[in-house]
Amino acid sequence: MVNAWAAVSKHIPSLERVSDLLKDADFMGNLPNGRTDLDAIIDAVKNPLDGGTASKLVKLSDHLENVKQVVKRHSGADGFDRLMVDLKNPVFAMQDGATHMLNDVKNLASGKVKKFDYEFDGDGIVCTKCRFDLELDASPGDLKLIEYKSWSLENIPKISGRQMTEYYRGIDKISEMKYVFNKLKTPDLGAVKTQMKSVLSSNADDVYKGMIESLKENLDVEEFSDFVGLIDNTNSQLYDFISIN
């Protein structure tokens, strides 16, 4: 969106949303730099003013509401400063990714987010610079790690297998990880799973070696051939980590 502030000033729903943000003391108080941050966020947006899916982004008034909810609920999480950097980056790919993530994170309860955008750590890490998008404050077995992918269907096979291996290395049950795809780009969950099958197949050996024993038990995997069998069946529980939003 060129000259976003000028466009907002002529669009009543978006202007009302901005007015609401400015009046919300809790929201403004949780922005590290207050009004300066809000101005930069609005300057960077690429969201359409009204409905429509041409840009594959939610409309601006909805995005600003998502920004409000995430800032108010999760500004205390580690890595929140990196999220703010992304929101103020005008590069379309950055806005695309941040918009997609916020449209999901808005639904999480206050304090649920433990970390934004951190490197994997712990024993056995192979991809030392690989990062996860979100770590949640979670009990064993509950969703813990989330990766947001605003990718077109044809590009999904290019997803990093090294990064995905670290997700598998960091969980005890498949329910503890989630890859969330953008439903505006990939509305068919079955088609997404088919494309992810290619990623899993290409990286099967590394993923299998990275899995800890508790995860193998959770998936009823005793040997490599069992894992390959799960990959071949996109209806298997192995694919439960894939969702669209």
Residue 129 in this model has a pLDDT that exceeds 70: no
211 residue type, one letter: M
More confident residue, 48 or 83: 83
Residue 84's pLDDT is: 96
Q: What's residue 1's pLDDT?
A: 43
Partner residues linked to 74 by β-bridges = none
Tell me what pLDDT residue 128 has.
61
**Separation of alpha carbons 57 and 55, rounded Å:** 5
pLDDT at 110: 95
Q: What is the mean pLDDT of residues 46-72?
A: 86
Mean pLDDT in residue range 209-236: 96
Model pLDDT, residue 122: 61
User: Average per-residue pLDDT in the chain?
Assistant: 91
The whole-number pLDDT of residue 105 equals: 96
Task: Using alpha carbons, select from 113, 132, 108, 133 the residue that is nearest to residue 122.
Answer: 132
Helix (H, G, I), strand (E, B), or coil: what is residue 220?
Answer: coil
Please, which contacts does 184-187 make with residues 24 or more away whose CB atoms are closer than 8 Å?
Answer: 184/53, 184/56, 184/57, 184/58, 185/56, 185/150, 185/151, 185/152, 185/153, 186/151, 186/152, 186/153, 186/156, 186/244, 187/244
Q: Where are the domains of the chain?
A: 120-245
Q: Residue 162: which pLDDT band, with cuts at 50, 70 and 90?
A: confident
pLDDT value of position 2: 45
What pLDDT, in 10s, does the model give residues 168-194?
A: 988 999 999 999 999 999 999 999 999
Do residues 68 and 26 lie in contact, with contact meaning Cβ atoms separated by under 8 Å? Answer: no
**Residue located via tokens 């703010």:** 84
Per DSSP (E only), the strands in 68-225 are: 113-119, 131-136, 145-149, 177-181
